[in-house]
Amino acid sequence: MSADRRPPAATNAAPQGAPVRFALNGRPLEAREGQSLAAALLAAGVTTLTRSPKYRRPRGIHCARGHCPNCLLRVDGVPHVRSCIVPVRDGMRVETEGATAARVDPLRAIDKAGALFPVGFQYRWFKRQNLAWRLWEGQLRRTAAETEMPAPTEVPPAERIAADLLVVGAGPAGIAAAAAAAEAGLRVVLAGRRAALGGGQRTMLEHGEGPADLQAALARVRDDARVRILAPGTVVAAFDKRYLVDAGTHVIEVTAVLSVLATGAYERAIPFPGNDRPGVMLTSALRRLALEDRVLAGRRAALVATDDSAYAHAAELLAAGMEVVAIADVRTDGGLPASAADLHAAGVELIGGARVSGIGGRGALRGLLLAAAAGERLVRCDVVGMSGGWQAADELRYVATSDGQAVVVGERARPLHPDAPADEPMAVLQGVGAVVGTRDVAAAVEEGARAGALAAANVARPADG
């Protein structure tokens, strides 16, 4: 099934939801309501959720955000569910899929014979040899289609919603944009990938904490009849001013005059040997698990960094009760952020110009290996975070078109209407928050509120003319 180890430590803030019972491959487990399924499994000591299809290498939580293939599980008969963004529910039946579920999998030997497969090796090379290809083709088909499809069900008809403004992303910037637009009288659809609103501030908001203007905006979008919340609601396609939203149970077609893109940013991984092993994940995933799911992915963390956000996350992890033993900053050019001094005082070793050579330990992760003048050094830890900087989650801009009008994110576009305010034109698809590089929560809320008001100023005009 999965490579288990001792359960992780509890955070300083104990899980607050009611207890729920679920089962993994028939094994009964307990969790707390509000936790993601992947976090609940991690809390139960399950670290390997899937295996890579080719080399069968174990895979655990990587992003905790629904953006990688590492945590796919079969849930209540539905295959390939991203367990890190699905809340655990009482009575849930969870199964590992394909190679992960197999008790005996001879193909795991391929990983051990890695030396026979040079970098860049592709199985299709066998195609040059007919007999070998015929043998391999069947095997490849079997390994690629590892999961059983569910019985076909009737597809519910698509729902259609007409709105003035679609806000894609239900984090702080998106909530603020939706609230401001609704306050100005627009019909708004707010679509977020997760069932809970708030993005990275979700848990804080649930406990009535966080910036007052964000709390007020959240209350408005929940109470204002002009706001339709689609959560979960993943916008998967955009055609002209029509957007298709996957609501989990059915598809919704939203037609909106304007859209605000508040989809946030992805943290990037850092390449080094072993960075795909369970226990090595994005630092934002460590943070998300600790602060939102109240599960520590390990007791002692080492962070590999090319970005200052590692230092802010380290402070949050320390506050949550995780020991952060070191930050291995691979940058060689520049000083440390101001917060580094506090971290150093708290016992975090700061290693500048680090050269990461791998991960220690054959089974359980034992530490981070650094290349040093005197050989290799092992920084002892049981979990590793990677902070490789941020990249806009702006895929929608590449698929969005709007009847000949420029679709621009993060820039001023030409006015939607000739009499729109000259100094504040709004693009058909306007970016706010982390998707355009605004990482500060207060600034993102302000930016979102401004975009919502601006949308109202623009959308009010078609009816005029």
- Per CB under 6 A, residues contacting ligand FES are 38, 61-64, 66-68, 70-71, 82, 84
Query: Which CB sits closer to ligand FES, 71 or 291?
Result: 71
For the chain, first and last CA: distance in Å?
64
CB 38, min distance to ligand FES, A: 6
Q: Strand, coil or helix: what is 219?
A: helix
Query: Which CB sits closer to ligand FES, 60 or 452?
Result: 60
Query: Which CB sits closer to ligand FES, 61 or 179?
Result: 61
CB 231, min distance to ligand FES, A: 17
Encoding tokens for residue 266?
């992805």
CB 128, min distance to ligand FES, A: 36
Residue number, nearest CB to ligand FES: 84
CB 377, min distance to ligand FES, A: 29
Cα within 13 Å of Cα(117), Cβ side = 15
Query: Which CB sits closer to ligand FES, 224 or 276?
Result: 276
**How many residues in the chain?**
465
Helical H runs in 346-422?
395-399
Query: Which CB sits closer to ligand FES, 88 or 449?
Result: 88
What does the angle CA 326 – CA 321 – CA 278 come to, to the nearest 5 degrees?
60
Query: Which CB sits closer to ligand FES, 2 or 70?
Result: 70
Max Cα-Cα span within the chain: 75
Q: Is the alpha carbon torsion for 320, 312, 180, 245 positive or negative?
A: negative
| 3-state DSSP of 124-188 | HHHHHCHHHHHHHHHHHHHHHCCCCCCCCCCCCCCEEEEEEEEEECCCHHHHHHHHHHHHCCCCE
| DSSP category for residue 47 | -
Q: Is the alpha carbon torsion for 111, 113, 114, 116 positive or negative?
A: negative
CB 66, min distance to ligand FES, A: 5
Strand 367-372 and strand 375-380: the pairing is antiparallel
Query: Which CB sits closer to ligand FES, 187 or 193?
Result: 193
Encoding tokens for residue 288?
């998300």
Query: Which CB sits closer to ligand FES, 258 or 281?
Result: 281
CB 163, min distance to ligand FES, A: 29
**Amino acid occupying residue 148:** E
CB 279, min distance to ligand FES, A: 13
Are the C-beta atoms of 386 and 275 separated by less than 8 Å? yes
CB 238, min distance to ligand FES, A: 22
Name residue 22's beta-bridge partners.
29
Query: Which CB sits closer to ligand FES, 70 or 402?
Result: 70
CB 42, min distance to ligand FES, A: 10
Tokens 């809340």, residue? 87
Query: Which CB sits closer to ligand FES, 194 or 220?
Result: 194
Phi-psi domain of 274 (left: phi exceeds 0; alpha: psi -120 through 50; beta: other):
left
Residue 19: cis peptide before it, omega within 30 degrees of 0? no
Name residue 94's beta-bridge partners.
24, 75
CB 161, min distance to ligand FES, A: 27
